[in-house]
Structure 1
Amino acid sequence: MSIVADEKSFLGQPRGLPVLFLTEMWEKFSFFGMRTLLVYYMTTTLLIEQGRASLIYGLYTAVIYLTPIAGGVLADRWLGRRRSVVYGAAIMILGHFMMASESLFYPALAVIAIGNGLFLPNLPGQVAGLYKPDDPRRGSAYNIYYMGVNLGAFMAPLACGAVGEIYGWHWGFALAGVGMAAGLAIYLAGGRYLPPDPPRKARSEGGQGRSEGLARSSLWLFGGVILAVVVFRIAYEQVGNTLALWIGSDVDRGLGGWTIPMTWFQSLNPLLVFLLTPILVTAWDRAARKGRGGSSLTRMATGAALVAGAFFGLAAIAALSGGNAVHWLWLAVFFLLLTSGELFILPVGLGLFGRLAPARMTATMIAAWFLAAFAGNLLAGVVGSTWSWMTPAAYFALMGVTACIAGLGLLLLARPFRKLEG
């Protein structure tokens, strides 16, 4: 069952899309606000050494993408998507406010992860229900939705990061909780514009045709995409981990006699997502109307190549600096390349899994996509623990090689996956 709004109100999209967009924006404000502070909080307040702090960071950001597996199954079989979003948001609000207490640090991380498991697969799972199956706007809907993700991620370091650095990390964590509460309020207020949950019978018996389409012989293709994205995320997820440490120690952050707060650089990536997405969506929609859209896997491989180029460039700059501080403008160039690559791979992959999922398994399939984020974040944390053993140039070059391997894997899958996507 789907809702198709005749009135166009947001970049030519149904009215339900901005509701989901804004809800996701505030959820990501809370998540990235807390994530921006996490490594600094552990190393400066809790006095956890860098290697262990990176492991904890990697484990937490990995578990955030593991709990949606259980949340997707619960939603598809019992709770439904809408109740799962509400319950998950409420639990996350509690967890963010628990972060204000040092003694509740680990329990708070666990509570946030549990709430996220209910929330994360079920909000994007409602996007497809806003469109008819043959609506040409479906292809770019997830890229527009992804703008909400990154608008929240852009605001979070500026607000939570500044509050945390100036007034104390605990106040930054509390502000993240306020953001999650705002997202829940928007979702409840805009519920009438969202697609209803499939009836219980449809959740248990519907979608058989699509299930047959996902033949067992094709499942290895989805597994191959997940594996490639796991490798990609080892490099990509260094942005909030080892790259953040490098920004704090080896980057000249001066601007006209003022020092840019180190947490603010975490806003560059989502800001560029917000600026570049409309350009890419327009170009891709125009190409699709002319029959020259290209396959999703080819786009994703292009994205991995761009991210590899970003890390190789940063490695070269770090090597040529001779131990001197690197000007922050080089970091801005790095983020421009990284973000361009991200837009070719992450929202495209999310949309691919969302479009091809059977109606009765939408949340579960999207949760399977997030399984790649779990494994990738976990491995990124393990790899990040070696940061202090290597020079920045060598480490960034290693991340470039990692992204190249991911791109090659996606390129090899492009031809067989084209038949399934068609």
Structure 2
Amino acid sequence: MGRGEKKQLGCFGYPLSIFFIVINEFCERFSYYGMRAVLVLYFKYFLQWDDNLATVIYHTFVAICYLTPILGAIIADSWLGKFKTIVYLSIVYAVGQVVMAVSAIHDLTDGNKDGTPDTIEVHVALSIIGLLLIALGTGGIKPCVAAFGGDQFDESQDKQRSQFFSIFYLSINAGSLLSTIITPILRGQECGIHSQQKCYPLAFGVPAALMVVALVIFIVGSSMYKKVSPQGNIIVKVSKCIGFAISNRYRNRSKSIPKREHWMDWAKEKYEERLIAQIKMVLKVLFLYIPLPMFWALFDQQGSRWTLQATTMDGNFGAIQIQPDQMQTVNPILIIVLVPIFDAVLYPLIKKCKLNFTPLKRMTVGMFLAAISFVAAALVQIEIDKTLPTFPSNNQIQLRVINIGTQPLNIDYMPNPPSSVSILRFQASEYEILEQPRSVNFSYGNISNTLNLEPLVDRTRYTYIVKDGQNIQANMFEDISNKPEQGSNAIRFVNGLEEAINITLGAAFLGDVMPVQMSNYTMQNLGTKQIEVITASGKTCKAESMKFGFGSSYTIIVKQCVPELQVDYVEDIKANTVHMALQIPQYFLITAGEVVFSVTGLEFSYSQAPSNMKSVLQAGWLLTVAVGNIIVLIVAGASHISQQWAEYVLFAALLVAVCVIFAVMAYFYTYVDPAEIEAQFDEDEKKKNAKEIEAMGVQDGDGPYSQTKM
């Protein structure tokens, strides 16, 4: 025992084993949140899913992550124990992370660069397998790790145990914060063998490596752990008791048996009154949980809808460039700031004002703040929508003309009614929306050329490059019909010279471009780039480009190469102009809501539940998170709302309605003290024992046996 005691108090009065547990939790949370931070963008940009499907799969994954803790708790408490459960499910977890990293390797399928369905299906299949393994692993160990850490302390170490949980919570937030900063940076790198793409293998690979490290560290501390044998799962026991009460009541519904005060009283034939009373207290709290999933339905959209919203915004913060998925770091940063402010300043101030700000009132305020955050998100989305280009709808095309001729060009569009426009040399017209039937006439003075546009594909943008001469030359090119994603800028060049040219933009080689022709698009990131043009006659000229922003598209006209390179810019799609900083208010509101809702909710739940049923409420709390993510799936799938701002308003309205319902439920809730109720049962048990002893004829002078037993 002396040697064991030495190991238990290995460092600063704490069991040395808990340091392995804390480091394990930091690495595991880094792994989980790092992977999750880039997940929705992986779905959209790598697997090529649309916003709705990406959102649905993301929230399905999160829902499963919060359903599996119940399974993990049952396995740990009923069969394997916490240590073996953590080890075995961590192996599953690590394998899942490795599978995700492999699924993101673009060159996995024979170096195919075309993104064809057969190659995408391999990535999709591996991704789904990886996510299911991760969900089983992270959810399964979730209820075990913190409890296993608590098991390492002796009964005399209450202070150290309390401090451990604070350190444990800090390690969770530290892992979350660092991972949501680092993995988006890794994702933003270019990597690949046959083609260069965003480096999702690295963004998933580092979390996978951290999960392997977490597993190894946890196993290394094995000899130091205090391992408690499985004692039977209280969740299973509670479920059986509730099931018996329901079935017993159903079996006796037609018999002339007096009604009982509470439906759980139908379990008295098989279960002791103490357990039934404890379950009643738990059920009162679980009943209050019914409206709570709606809060999580909004909260977890930070990683889906809000991240997708950030992809259409300007992330240039001067010295640094913020990636859309890095905006999620605002949440853990604000938690670290707001929790001490609320605890040390706000709550004492409210108490000083003699306002009865009960836990349930705090939770109501938290739900309302979350609803307001979605109103703020809707206002931001409205501003974003104002900057987005209008693309052609059904039975429409959009047509733009660039004049590289020697004189002004007259254009007659011939939809119904016809419209005309004149553009100068090296200038471009605005996009014209044309409906069927449609044609266009180009003319330089007396020379004209009419083109039938019927073969062009609807819902598409086109550009004509037109040049005069003996005959009018008019070459048609298809434009991109959606806004460049991930903050990239789609750039292409028009050769306005009389000879072929070779073009390089930054590190991108665009190849040879013939006269009256256009290069392919190249995707460029933020900033200025060097343009280099080499003519067929051997002349070389260079110039710095304009500063590109986020999500723009430009057609650059090469006008002259001697003595200097001269170009003109035609803006096809405007850059993102709404700054990501505008998301900070909505993050502030939902984080403030989280602090007064989540932290208070756990505190309230634990204060209202018997000491041996904390795990039941923990499972119930995690279940509300899972149901919240399922609500997102239902609303996103059933609403069919085309405008994103309207969907935000819908979620806000639903939460406000649920908030009112919760406020009414909270008004009628009566707070209890489980310790007093359990003490009363203990007192009744003592009196019962005393009566039994007295009935057996035990004399006070013999011992007294009843006092010894107590």
Question: Which structure: greater helix fraction?
Answer: 1
3-state SS of the aligned residue for 1:416? Answer: coil
Relative to structure 1, is the Cα distance of residues 64 and 201 closer, same or farther in structure 2, using a 3 angstrom cutoff? closer
Name which of 666, 669, 672 aligns with 1:413: 666
Letter in 2 for 1:118: G
CA distance in 1: counterparts of 2:273 and 2:208, whole angstroms: 39
- Report what 1:308 is aligned to: 371
Q: How does 1:320-339 map to 2 (within 5 A)?
A: 323-324=386-387, 325-339=577-591
- Report what 1:33 is aligned to: 34
- Report what 1:298 is aligned to: 361
3-state SS of the aligned residue for 1:121? Answer: helix
C-alpha contact 2:77 2:233 (8 A) present in aligned 1: no
3-state SS of the aligned residue for 1:197? Answer: coil
CA deviations 1:106-145 (Å, max 9, x no partner) are 1111111221232011123346655969969999986764
CA distance in 1: counterparts of 2:357 and 2:157, whole angstroms: 18
Q: How does 1:18-167 map to 2 (within 5 A)?
A: 20-99=21-100, 100-101=102-103, 102=123, 103-126=125-148, 145-166=168-189, 167=191
Letter in 2 for 1:106: I
Letter in 1 for 2:142: L
- Report what 1:403 is aligned to: 655
Indicate yes or no: 2:380 matched with 1:349: no
3-state SS of the aligned residue for 2:671? Answer: helix
C-alpha contact 2:16 2:224 (8 A) present in aligned 1: yes
C-alpha contact 2:370 2:590 (8 A) present in aligned 1: yes
CA distance in 2: counterparts of 1:71 and 1:277, whole angstroms: 30
CA distance in 1: counterparts of 2:648 and 2:374, whole angstroms: 5
C-alpha contact 1:205 1:360 (8 A) present in aligned 2: no
- Report what 2:315 is aligned to: 253
Q: What is the CA distance between 1:213 and its match in structure 2?
A: 7.3
- Report what 1:226 is aligned to: 289
Relative to structure 1, is the Cα distance of residues 235 and 194 closer, same or farther in structure 2, using a 3 angstrom cutoff? farther
Greater RCO between the two (CA within 8 Å, min separation 6)?
Answer: 1
Letter in 1 for 2:596: F
Letter in 2 for 1:305: F
Q: What is the CA distance between 1:95 and its match in structure 2?
A: 0.6
Name which of 165, 175, 186 aligns with 2:206: 175
CA distance in 1: counterparts of 2:589 and 2:273, whole angstroms: 37
CA distance in 2: counterparts of 1:241 and 1:162, whole angstroms: 18
CA distance in 1: counterparts of 2:316 and 2:377, whole angstroms: 19
Question: What is the percent sequence identity of the aligned residues?
Answer: 22
Deviates more, 1:312-321 or 1:70-79: 312-321
| TM-score normalised to structure 2 length | 0.51
Letter in 2 for 1:326: V
- Report what 1:242 is aligned to: 305
CA distance in 1: counterparts of 2:330 and 2:377, whole angstroms: 16
Question: Which structure: greater strand fraction?
Answer: 2
Structure 1's unaligned 5+ residue stretches are: none
Name which of 327, 334, 346 aligns with 1:265: 327
Letter in 2 for 1:161: P
Relative to structure 1, is the Cα distance of residues 209 and 311 closer, same or farther in structure 2, using a 3 angstrom cutoff? farther
Q: What is the CA distance between 1:87 and its match in structure 2?
A: 2.1
Relative to structure 1, is the Cα distance of residues 331 and 104 closer, same or farther in structure 2, using a 3 angstrom cutoff? same
C-alpha contact 1:161 1:264 (8 A) present in aligned 2: yes
C-alpha contact 1:228 1:410 (8 A) present in aligned 2: yes
CA distance in 1: counterparts of 2:217 and 2:356, whole angstroms: 34
CA distance in 1: counterparts of 2:32 and 2:91, whole angstroms: 14
3-state SS of the aligned residue for 1:326? Answer: coil
C-alpha contact 1:300 1:349 (8 A) present in aligned 2: yes
CA distance in 1: counterparts of 2:216 and 2:673, whole angstroms: 39
C-alpha contact 1:21 1:145 (8 A) present in aligned 2: yes
Q: What is the CA distance between 1:214 and its match in structure 2?
A: 5.3
CA deviations 1:141-181 (Å, max 9, x no partner) are 86764443332221122222221221411221111112223
3-state SS of the aligned residue for 1:80? Answer: helix
C-alpha contact 1:221 1:417 (8 A) present in aligned 2: no
CA distance in 1: counterparts of 2:661 and 2:161, whole angstroms: 26
CA distance in 2: counterparts of 1:260 and 1:159, whole angstroms: 11
Q: What is the CA distance between 1:205 and its match in structure 2?
A: 12
Letter in 1 for 2:281: S
C-alpha contact 1:307 1:341 (8 A) present in aligned 2: yes
CA distance in 2: counterparts of 1:283 and 1:134, whole angstroms: 30
Q: What is the CA distance between 1:42 and its match in structure 2?
A: 1.7
C-alpha contact 2:73 2:233 (8 A) present in aligned 1: no
CA deviations 1:299-340 (Å, max 9, x no partner) are 322322222222223323444566134322221222122112
Relative to structure 1, is the Cα distance of residues 144 and 307 closer, same or farther in structure 2, using a 3 angstrom cutoff? farther
| TM-score normalised to structure 1 length | 0.81
- Report what 1:374 is aligned to: 626
C-alpha contact 2:380 2:583 (8 A) present in aligned 1: no
Letter in 2 for 1:95: G
- Report what 2:544 is aligned to: none
